[in-house]
Amino acid sequence: MQPGMRNRFRIAVLIYSMTNAVIFGAGIITVLNVSALRANAFVWIPVVVIASLILAAPFAWLIAPRMQARYDRRHFDQKMP
């Protein structure tokens, strides 16, 4: 694995839990606020849990380069005279 890809993977792993929490929170709020979904919450809540676990990985992978670019830009600016 290349160093750049390894760093992106590490950052994505760190971001995964946060993106999972945000997606889960949005999904659970939707389930609890829509009365049609609330009636079958015993079905929809597990769907939200599984969907958030699956969808968090690609979102974390897409966010990781932006976090790395912010870090690189900040350190590059400090090294310049």
pLDDT, tens only, 26-63:
999 999 999 999 999 999 999 999 999 999 999 999 99
Q: Give the integer Cα–Cα distance in Å for 7 and 45.
A: 34
The answer to whether residue 12 scores a pLDDT higher than 90 is yes
User: 38 and 31 in contact (C-beta within 8 Å)?
Assistant: yes
Mean pLDDT of the chain: 88
Which two structure tokens, joined as six digits, stand for 41? 């919450």
Q: Give the integer Cα–Cα distance in Å for 68 and 19.
A: 16
Residue keyed to tokens 């839990």: 17
Q: Give the integer Cα–Cα distance in Å for 36 and 29.
A: 13
User: 20 and 56 in contact (C-beta within 8 Å)?
Assistant: yes
